[in-house]
Structure 1
């Protein structure tokens, strides 16, 4: 049914739907190709990153994507997740660099706390 709606209307609806930390956006991306494309920008409005691995992975994504992200809320928790407590020192050495790189890659228009 939603594939009959104009993508602009779907995108507006998805902006309201994707105000959680990411569960709704991930679910929308799996519905169909049309919904995946129409919800793409909304999926990155609210981002929660926990631990160095997620921070590093998201920084890599932002650096290599062609998507113009419109992030409104970005929460970064630099404390390790339980699984990361036993990770290598290489990840630890890259963490501060990735924080700075991620901040530089995000749009200046993004709201930051």
Structure 2
């Protein structure tokens, strides 16, 4: 029974994660395009090093670049982050179903050892 519960929890969390990632692709595309335009200016050898920042901020306002960078950073995640989000979902459900044991649930990659 616990195995079935955990399997369902992990499957549902994985589906939710994929759905969230698909929704964030539009934001990622927009931000990546903005950062690509910034890189184009930085890599343009016809612009002197002394003028790169001035040209960059002329073409793309600083606030636009900051927003794009924040969006990309928010969407980037470490390779093991899927497991962390799955673990949070599983432990939340276990806390409801098995409150006595939920206090001891801690993923091994967060310091408890495997």
TM-score bracket, shorter-length normalisation: under 0.3
Q: In proportion to residue count, which structure has more helix?
A: 2
- Return the TM-score normalized by structure 2: 0.21
The higher relative CO (CA closer than 8 Å, separation ≥ 6) is in 2
- Return the TM-score normalized by structure 1: 0.21
